[in-house]
Amino acid sequence: SSLIVLARIDIFRSFYDNSDRIPIVMQITIIETVKGKSKNSQILIKGQEGKNCLEMLNKFKIGKTYVFALSPSYTENSKTVDSTIFDLSSCGEHWLSYDNKFVEGVITTDVKEYTKKIIDIQYKIDNYKGSDYNKVVGKLYKERQILYKTQVQKMTYKSFKQKLSIWVSNSS
């Protein structure tokens, strides 16, 4: 991710199939930039629209604060970056909830192994065709949830930023 920010969600800007239930773009106000640079204090985050690998935005709440790890969003011709629009990937966890100076979510350096396990489970869910679908897929959803819970941590925002700076310097 090229941009990591602490930000408040202002508004959902557009919705899947013009419904008011499934947002696909949200506007945020950057409170603090943790990594990278943004020329703007307000940016848009693109989410899942049904045919991309981006995060579902309906899990986020207007007025709440989160840490987001974002990537530049390319325009339709795929060659130009718009500096006001960023993508929030769903391949792994790229956000943390923030409340009262604490962050909570999946905080791990072993992202590849965790992501591989999640993708393997999701592949099994998406491709299961058996007659006992509800039973098997239900177990897979529980397995995914248990895996997720093993990775969830809560720490102060300050500690998170210190850990992140160590991870970033070790990967350079």
Counting Cα atoms < 13 Å in the Cβ hemisphere of 133 gives 7
What is the pLDDT at residue 74?
72
What is the pLDDT at residue 129?
87
Q: In order along the chain (172 residues), what is the average pLDDT of each group of 10 residues?
A: 91 76 89 91 85 82 95 68 81 86 82 75 85 87 81 88 78 58
CB count within 10 Å of CB 88 equals 23
Cβ atoms of 9 and 66 closer than 8 Å? yes
What is the pLDDT at residue 67?
95
DSSP for 70-129 reads EEEEE-TTSS-EEEEEEE-B-SS--EEEEETTEEEEE--S-HHHHHHHHHHHHHHHHH--
H helix or E strand, kind and range, residue 163: helix 157-171
What is the pLDDT at residue 2?
84
pTM, two decimals, is 0.73
Cβ atoms of 67 and 34 closer than 8 Å? yes
What is the pLDDT at residue 156?
93
Could you tell me which of 80, 87, 70, 69 has the C-alpha nearest to residue 160? 69
Which residues touch 113 (CB under 8 Å, ≥6 apart)? Answer: none
Cβ atoms of 64 and 70 closer than 8 Å? no
CB count within 10 Å of CB 132 equals 10
Could you tell me which of 60, 54, 50, 48 has the C-alpha nearest to residue 12? 60
What is the pLDDT at residue 166?
78
